[in-house]
């Protein structure tokens, strides 16, 4: 299967996502919708904890990490 090259790098996409989230938070603070911010913060924390909980860290070794660093 041919690799599909993206127009934007992963870093650019991540920064764009952070920019969008920052704008959303600023709008919610400006509109004084703090209750919605609490709910969003709680849901994002749950998502982060579930990601860490289900991460398969058992198979990650030093050689895998060094190989990953050299590829980027």
Give me the tens of pLDDT residue by residue for the chain, a chain 72 residues long. 556 777 989 999 999 999 999 999 999 999 999 999 999 999 999 999 999 988 877 776 666 566 665 655
24 part of a folded domain:
yes
4 part of a folded domain:
no
The pTM score is 0.60
31 part of a folded domain:
yes
Distance CA 43, CA 15 (A): 21
- Amino acid 21: pLDDT: 92
Distance CA 49, CA 41 (A): 12
- Amino acid 64: pLDDT: 59
Q: Which two tokens stand for residue 15?
A: 């920064």
| Domain tally, the chain | 1
Domain that holds residue 48: 10-71
52 part of a folded domain:
yes
2 part of a folded domain:
no
3 part of a folded domain:
no
Element of type H or E holding 20? helix 10-30
């Amino acid at each position: 299967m041919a690799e599909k090259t993206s127009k934007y790098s992963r870093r650019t996409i991540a920064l764009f996502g952070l920019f969008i989230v920052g704008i959303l938070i600023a709008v919610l603070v400006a509109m004084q919708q703090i209750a919605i911010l609490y709910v969003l913060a709680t849901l994002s924390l749950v998502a982060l904890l579930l990601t860490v909980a289900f991460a398969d860290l058992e198979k990650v070794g030093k050689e895998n990490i060094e190989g990953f660093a050299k590829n980027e």
